[in-house]
Amino acid sequence: MKKQILSITFMATTLVACGPGVPQLGKASLEDVIGAMTLEEKAHLVIGTGMAGFENGDSAVVGETRSLVPGAAGTTYPIPRLGIPSIVLADGPAGLRINPTREGDTATYYCTHFPIGTLLASTWDQELVENVGRAIGNEVLEYGADVLLAPALNIHRHPLCGRNFEYYSEDPLVSGKMAAAYVRGVQSNGVGTSIKHFAVNNQETNRMANDAQVSPRALREIYLKGFEIAVKESDPWTVMSSYNYVNGVYASESPELQTTLLRDEWGFKGMVMTDWFGGKDAVAQMKAGNDMLQPGYDKQYRDIVAGVKEGRLDETVLDRNVKRILELILRTPRFKGYPFSNKPDLKAHAAITRQSATEGMVLLKNENKALPLSADVKRVALFGCTSYNFIAGGTGSGNVNRAYTVSLLDGLKNAGYETDDRLKADYEAHIAAEQERLKPEDGKFSAFMPVVLPQEMTFEEARLKELAAQSDMALITIGRGSGEFLDRESANFYLSKEKRQLMQDVCRVFHAAGKKVVVVLNIGGTIETSSWKALPDAILCAWQGGQEGGNSVVDVLSGKASPCGKLTMTFPVRFEDHASTANFPVDLKSDIDIVNANKGEKKHSLKDVDYTRYEEDIYVGYRYFDSFGKEVSYPFGYGLSYTTFAYDKASIRADNGLYTVTVEVKNTGKTAGREVVQLYVTAPDASGTNKPEKELKAFAKTRELKPGESEVVTLKVNTADLASYEEASSSWVVAAGNYKFLVGASSRDIRAVLDAGVEAATQKTNDLLKLQVPLATLKR
């Protein structure tokens, strides 16, 4: 008999075989590989390799691993004797997050910081998002990572959610389409994505133990819809389950969510991993179809092994999860031995981020043609701390270790504008002093936490007069940082006393001197605008445009690029106007342990912390404001251009359940530009049947149109897209009747109304994720 066992390795309690004849991943069948695995090896494979600072951890600091690609968020457990390599999982949505330097190595590993999710979505341009994804995926590949932990597509339920900057929109269609485009782009490189956080992770406060109590209807129509679109349209390699509970069950422990809905109903074929340290019961997670637990810790390993030995976990369930992990590994560049270069083309990617950021900036106001800046504007008086300390993106796992950030000051200089040196020196000294004053206490997570921005400077009248006399215009930046772990405070939404003062004084003095004032918003989520928007001549919402942000803003200000982004969320008058405010942790500071809240007994006492009741139901964002006739500051879908567009010849054709709307969009102004066209639908008797006044069903963006040029835009909607979710029958139901198809430049700027008769349709679904407690949902 041929000798098969060359060596024997002692592992915990089991003897294992190595050498020829032992099934090898990629050569033997998965069944044979799994058949050759010990229980201990399986239990290791379904959890990650851990993190430092935690039981059995592998990395130097929280949020990072040490091996393979230092700074990546996680790695999988290698089993060399079976030919199973360790693969690398790394954040995140705005670009690859790894350590930029390595011990004993003079090379650098900087990644490109691309625009934040909110900005990408504001382009309304799926092709552009796919392109950005392609560039990000190339860095994943060339730096030796295998799966990017992105995109993030939770709904902007409330303006104060600390991670809205990573997410796309208050609307699920926009979220789903953008995520799908991003996934297609990243995965075109032969690396994976992880769409996250599945599902209903809409607040950071107590995110690890908060119970999101949501009606099945709101789940289906609002919170799950984007994931459904992304799964069906882009086939992501993995899904990341969220930390929170959904109706009493941890998302990662919910078979209804991770198996019945995701796989059985939507046809997801990939692997599910937890968010880092998410959930509580490893055995329940395994059973739910949450295949991998990241980053993994000893207790989970012990629980899984004991679970099988004690009969609480069927080994075939473990094998199923192991198989999905092996299927993932088989697809990865690391398994295929891709010779990564550690040298992605950072220059080319800088050009991509610079250009893409201009496309998602939203021109909110432009009076007296303040923008683009006229040729005689040379000297700019630059106000606001963030003008000098521009914010590239948010903090936490959504951050990217970039080589540089182009500030607005740098951007202006690069384009040949002059700024005031004394003003710059004053700001720099002030910022340095403020940074010292506000320095966070050194703690485990301090590097990961949102930065506290300096208090604004105000100026004496005489100084402003002097600056106004010497400058051709004033620019004021309003900046807001936010990030993982914390929701924004209410003060973060409103302008501070100093900022308001600065705005008033600069506008008064510069206007008196006949000089214009432009405000740039360097923000990740909405802020208050209605009380001050009358003051400046123009407002550009520049979002956080990544490392080339300052250049991108100046490309728009100077007219090199024409603004063509539109809002993917409403700018409310006050954040309190959102119906979700009644059930959101506004300024709720509690003593939550941000990494251990999911250990121990579940607490149920503190509203909006232990549990959050989604009583606004489907009335999120414009669905609420437009259905209940509320005033807003800037509506969903809104955004100006340097040119104007006329909509003409709108028509609709119905053909066997497919509604095709066409409209001719003509550039009627004097500069080239692109227009985002939105198609909303109003159901028959919407108010009587408790449906939103209008819902976005399709959108498109024209190519760049020269003055006088036009393009016929086509928007398609299927009967099934018109369905609402009926809880009583757990079905998607399309009521028969006359539907209105609204062609709009924004949700409140409808240019054409078309009608079409629609036949009834019903699609039965699984009856799942039911409320465990009654919820007084908002109705029209």
Residues that are catalytic: 275
> Going residue by residue from 632 to 671, which x/- string records binding to ligand BGC, judged by CB under 6 A?
----------------------------------------
> Which residue type, as a one-letter code, is found at position 144?
G
In this structure, the chain runs to a length of 780
Helix-helix angle 346-359:549-557, to 10 degrees: 50
Which listed residue (149, 186, 509, 735) binds ligand BGC by CB under 6 A? Answer: 149
> Which residue type, as a one-letter code, is found at position 658?
L
Q: Give the integer Cα–Cα distance in Å for 455 and 436.
A: 12
> Going residue by residue from 44 to 83, which x/- string records binding to ligand BGC, judged by CB under 6 A?
-------------------x---------x----------
Among residues 275 and 695, whose Cβ is nearest to ligand BGC?
A: 275
Among residues 398 and 585, whose Cβ is nearest to ligand BGC?
A: 398
CB of 731 to ligand BGC, least distance (A): 33
Q: Tell me phi and psi for residue 741, to 5 degrees.
A: -105, 115
Enumerate residues 261-280 that contact ligand BGC by CB under 6 A: 275-276
Which listed residue (41, 58, 91, 204) binds ligand BGC by CB under 6 A? Answer: 91
Which listed residue (260, 397, 492, 570) binds ligand BGC by CB under 6 A? Answer: 397
Closest CA to 292 of 41, 43, 52: 43
CB of 201 to ligand BGC, least distance (A): 8
Q: Which residues neighbour 304 within 8 Å (Cβ) at sequence distance 6 or greater?
A: 42, 43, 46, 47, 282, 283, 286, 313, 318
Contact status, residue 309 vs residue 16, Cβ threshold 8 Å? no
Q: Does 214 bind ligand BGC (CB under 6 A)?
A: no
CB of 355 to ligand BGC, least distance (A): 27
- Please give the torsion angle defined by the CA atoms of residues 503, 504, 510 and 511, in that order, rounded to the nearest 10 degrees: 120
Among residues 274 and 747, whose Cβ is nearest to ligand BGC?
A: 274
What sign has the CA pseudo-torsion 620, 621, 627, 631?
Answer: positive
Enumerate residues 669-698 that contact ligand BGC by CB under 6 A: none
Q: Give the integer Cα–Cα distance in Å for 554 and 550.
A: 6
Angle at 106 between CA 105 and CA 111, to 5 degrees: 95
CB of 54 to ligand BGC, least distance (A): 13
3-state secondary structure of 634: strand
3-state secondary structure of 444: coil
Among residues 223 and 619, whose Cβ is nearest to ligand BGC?
A: 223
Enumerate residues 186-205 that contact ligand BGC by CB under 6 A: 196
Among residues 91 and 615, whose Cβ is nearest to ligand BGC?
A: 91
Contact status, residue 423 vs residue 502, Cβ threshold 8 Å? no
Helix-helix angle 461-470:497-512, to 10 degrees: 50
Chain Cα centroid distance, residue 650: 33
Among residues 92 and 192, whose Cβ is nearest to ligand BGC?
A: 92
Q: Give the integer Cα–Cα distance in Å for 440 and 672.
A: 47
3-state secondary structure of 572: strand
Contact status, residue 147 vs residue 187, Cβ threshold 8 Å? no
Neighbours of 595 (CB within 10 A): 16
Specify the residue for token string 């003055």: 707
CB of 256 to ligand BGC, least distance (A): 22
How many amino acids of this chain bind ligand BGC (CB under 6 A)? 10
Q: Give the integer Cα–Cα distance in Å for 196 and 69.
A: 22
CB-based burial, 406-435: b 16+ in 10 Å, e otherwise: bbbbbbbbebebebbeebeeebeebbeebe
CB of 188 to ligand BGC, least distance (A): 21
Chain Cα centroid distance, residue 345: 25
Q: Give the integer Cα–Cα distance in Å for 627 and 47.
A: 46
Among residues 91 and 170, whose Cβ is nearest to ligand BGC?
A: 91
And the tokens for 743? 């062609």
Among residues 130 and 484, whose Cβ is nearest to ligand BGC?
A: 484
Q: Give the integer Cα–Cα distance in Å for 22 and 432.
A: 62
Among residues 91 and 434, whose Cβ is nearest to ligand BGC?
A: 91
Bridge partners (DSSP) of residue 726 are 731
CB of 454 to ligand BGC, least distance (A): 27
Angle at 605 between CA 602 and CA 609, to 5 degrees: 80
CB of 148 to ligand BGC, least distance (A): 9
CB of 149 to ligand BGC, least distance (A): 4
CB of 92 to ligand BGC, least distance (A): 6
Among residues 396 and 692, whose Cβ is nearest to ligand BGC?
A: 396
> Going residue by residue from 466 to 485, which x/- string records binding to ligand BGC, judged by CB under 6 A?
------------------x-
Q: Which residues of this chain interact with ligand BGC, rule CB under 6 A?
A: 63, 73, 91-92, 149, 196, 275-276, 397, 484
